[in-house]
């Protein structure tokens, strides 16, 4: 009995997620399936990469993480399994595993059709490839049986902030359900860049010279969130709705 997590952009209106669960349970009836989210913004590979990076460490070794945000499904993009620190990540090779693959112990292209469904749809690899493979891995299938080992996974080139002189430039990577803007600048990057120097963080005309420590209702705040990234929010409010912010809006940190 293994743990299998699901993260997709399928939403909850249609039966796609339930179908994937059915395929998984047909292959491993004892699997514990955990829904992470099915509300990744449709086709947003970058948001998916940050989402996976946020949650996988909280699961036990041996967990299989199925991630399906796959705008080029049916093309020449490769289906892969990434192994890292005892975890398995199953999904398309399109950059969603950019935070994972750099420290992977093994990456395999899924080529062996014996472990897929008999009929593979060009539009639903989540059902026909990734779900049956996840069930097999949960039951102990060896990676070497899946296909060719690779060392050139697709990696997104815009997930980290850029430092130029006395400025670090990042952006809004995603928004949570409450409208908080989560950036791509993490705590370690922030501390390493700022050190003990005075700094200013700017976003869309707003400026902050310190991280918020206490809040009052309606205040716009900047702080290190629970995921370890710099975030912007409104205390008991919605930063996204109030400011009209968008993903990829620049966040600039300057030091004196």
What domains can be seen in the chain, in order of their start residue? 3-145 (3.40.50.10790), 162-255 (2.40.30.90)
pLDDT of residue 89: 99
pLDDT band at 98 (very low <50, low <70, confident <90, very high): very high
Q: Is 90 exceeded by the pLDDT of residue 1?
A: no
Mean pLDDT of the chain: 97
| Residue tagged 């112990």 (tokens) | 105
Backbone angles phi, psi at 43, to 5 degrees: 70, 15
Q: Is 80 exceeded by the pLDDT of residue 142?
A: yes
- Would you give the DSSP letter of residue 130? I
pLDDT of residue 105: 97
pLDDT tens-digit map of 58-79: 999 999 999 999 999 989 999 9
- 133 sits in the region (left: phi over 0; alpha: psi -120 to 50; else beta) called alpha
Cβ count within 10 A of residue 64: 27
User: What average pLDDT does this structure show over 97-116?
Assistant: 97
Cβ count within 10 A of residue 133: 28
pLDDT of residue 227: 93
User: What average pLDDT does this structure show over 82-89?
Assistant: 98
Backbone angles phi, psi at 61, to 5 degrees: -55, 140
pLDDT band at 215 (very low <50, low <70, confident <90, very high): confident
Rounded to a whole number of angstroms, the distance between the first and last alpha carbons of the chain is: 55
pLDDT of residue 213: 83
9 Cβ neighbours under 8 A, 6+ residues apart: 38, 39, 40, 41, 42, 43, 44, 48, 68, 69
pLDDT band at 102 (very low <50, low <70, confident <90, very high): very high
24 Cβ neighbours under 8 A, 6+ residues apart: 4, 31, 33, 131, 132, 134, 135, 138
SS3 state of residue 77:
coil
pLDDT band at 216 (very low <50, low <70, confident <90, very high): confident
What's the token pair of residue 231?
Answer: 């975030």
User: What average pLDDT does this structure show over 42-50?
Assistant: 98
Q: Model's pTM, two decimal places?
A: 0.94
58 Cβ neighbours under 8 A, 6+ residues apart: none
pLDDT of residue 214: 78
Cβ count within 10 A of residue 192: 11
Q: Is 90 exceeded by the pLDDT of residue 112?
A: yes
pLDDT of residue 189: 97
User: What average pLDDT does this structure show over 221-244?
Assistant: 96
Q: Give the E-state strand segments of the chain in sequence order.
A: 3-8, 32-37, 64-68, 79-84, 87-92, 106-109, 162-164, 167-175, 181-186, 199-203, 206-208, 220-224, 229-234, 250-255
CA dihedral angle for residue 89, residue 90, residue 93, residue 96, rounded to 10 degrees: -50
pLDDT of residue 36: 99
The CA distance from 185 to 174, in Å, is: 12
């Amino acid at each position: 009995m293994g743990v299998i997590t699901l993260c997709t952009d399928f939403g909850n209106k249609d039966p796609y997620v339930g179908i994937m669960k059915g395929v998984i349970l047909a292959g491993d009836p004892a699997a514990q399936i955990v829904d992470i989210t099915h509300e990744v913004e449709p086709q947003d590979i970058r948001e998916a990469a940050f989402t996976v990076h946020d949650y996988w460490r909280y699961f036990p070794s041996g967990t299989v993480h199925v991630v399906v945000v796959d705008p080029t499904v049916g093309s020449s993009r490769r289906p892969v399994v990434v192994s890292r620190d005892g975890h398995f990540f199953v999904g398309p090779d399109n950059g969603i595993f950019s935070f994972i693959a750099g420290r992977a112990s093994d990456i395999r292209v899924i080529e062996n059709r014996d472990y897929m469904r008999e009929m593979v749809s060009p539009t639903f690899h989540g059902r026909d490839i990734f779900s049956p493979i996840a069930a097999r891995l949960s039951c102990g299938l060896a990676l070497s049986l899946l296909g060719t080992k690779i060392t050139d996974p697709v990696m997104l080139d815009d997930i980290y902030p850029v430092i130029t002189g006395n400025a670090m430039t990042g952006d809004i990577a995603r928004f949570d359900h409450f409208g908080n803007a989560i950036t791509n600048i993490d705590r370690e990057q922030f501390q390493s860049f700022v050190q003990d120097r005075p700094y200013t963080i700017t976003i869309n005309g707003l400026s902050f010279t310190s991280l918020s420590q206490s809040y009052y209702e309606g205040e716009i705040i900047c702080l290190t969130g629970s995921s370890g990234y710099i975030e912007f929010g409104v205390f008991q409010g919605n930063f996204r709705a109030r400011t009209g912010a968008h993903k990829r809006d620049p966040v600039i940190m300057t030091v004196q």
